[in-house]
Amino acid sequence: MPTKILVDGIGKSFATDQGTLHVLDSISLEVGDGEIVAIVGPSGCGKSTMMNIIAGFDRPDRGSVRVDGVVQSKPSSRGILISQAGSVFPWLTVQQNLMFGLNGRAHDEKKQLADHYAEMVGLKGFEARYPHELSGGMLKRAELARALVVKPEILYMDEPFSALDALLHLRMRNELLRILEQERHTVLLITHDVEEAIHVANRIVVLSIRPTTIQATFDVPFAHPRKLSSAPVQELRTQILRELGVDGYDA
């Protein structure tokens, strides 16, 4: 598997009223082409800062991020970020949102692509709706479709489904797996949900508290569809929770 993303010793600090805040210490990570890597860590550990740097929205103080060997200096449509807050434009319809990122194509072609992906995420019949007319789950589907339609090589997902209720969360996860089977993407998924990480990822990276470093890495060798209640899965889950220092799982 060729390397897609190469994170090489990135560090980041912020100046605050209480002095310098060291957020990221020295993080190195290699993500293979088509790999799904989940990043878990305690809240406030700088996961989002790390994601912003990797996706090109922010620059590291030290180190570098390379995508296909080229230094990532600004965001590009080759890697789309999906965040918890969501960024579907409320003033555009679902279809207009999906067509938004399709630069330099004929209008009909844009429309066709938009409708194809709307159907893929289960939004057929809702193309003319505005986001405020959609439910939370449908809004996430629209966001996902808008990302997929530009055929990005990488999906950067920062707690994408955290704002949804438990049932919807599980359903969206299954949807995501189904879509990733159809379209090959390299995925970097930030989550605080260990179960979600095991469900989706090929590899799980556990981060430490600030200043953040990579504390442990776990391979997830189970074939899809994964049965989350199986003994090996539960064993892996216990190991990761122990690594995160959750009470009752101490070594």
Partner 1 sequence: MIAAKRVLPSVAVIALIIGVWWAIVVATGSVVFPTPWQVVTGTIELIRDGTLWGHIGASLFRVGTGFLLAVTVAVPLGLWMGWVNGAYITLNPLFQMLRPISPIAWIPIAILWFGVGNLSPIFLIFISSVFPMVVQTIAGVHTIEKRYLRAAANFGVSRATLFRQVVIPAVLPQIIVGMRIGLGVAWLVVVAAEMIALRSGLGYLIIDSRNAGNRYDLVIAGMIIIGLIGLLLDGLMRLLEGLRVVRWRYAH
Q: Which residues bind partner 1 (CB under 8 A)?
A: 55, 57, 74-77, 80-81, 83, 85-87, 89-92, 96, 100-101, 103, 130-132, 150
> Rounded to whole angstroms, what are the CA distances from 137 to 115, 123, 134, 176, 186?
18, 11, 8, 12, 23
Backbone φ and ψ for 215, nearest 5 degrees, come out as -95, -35
Pairing mode, strands 62-67 and 3-16:
antiparallel
Rank residues 15 and 85 by Cβ distance to partner 1 and give the closer one.
85
Cα separation, 46 vs 12, in Å, equals: 9
The 3-class SS string of 222-247 reads CCCCCCCCCHHHHHHHHHHHHHCCCC
| Beta-bridge partner residues of 21 | 14
Pairing mode, strands 62-67 and 214-219:
unpaired
Place of tokens 């590899």: 203
Rank residues 40 and 51 by Cβ distance to partner 1 and give the closer one.
51
Which residues does 231 contact at the CB level (< 8 Å), separation at least 6? Answer: none
Rank residues 10 and 55 by Cβ distance to partner 1 and give the closer one.
55
CB of 92 to partner 1, least distance (A): 7
Rank residues 84 and 215 by Cβ distance to partner 1 and give the closer one.
84
CB of 87 to partner 1, least distance (A): 4
CB of 71 to partner 1, least distance (A): 17
Rank residues 86 and 211 by Cβ distance to partner 1 and give the closer one.
86
CB of 89 to partner 1, least distance (A): 6
Which residues does 98 contact at the CB level (< 8 Å), separation at least 6? Answer: 113, 114, 117, 118, 127, 142, 145, 146, 149
Rank residues 59 and 226 by Cβ distance to partner 1 and give the closer one.
59
CB of 74 to partner 1, least distance (A): 8
CB of 187 to partner 1, least distance (A): 16
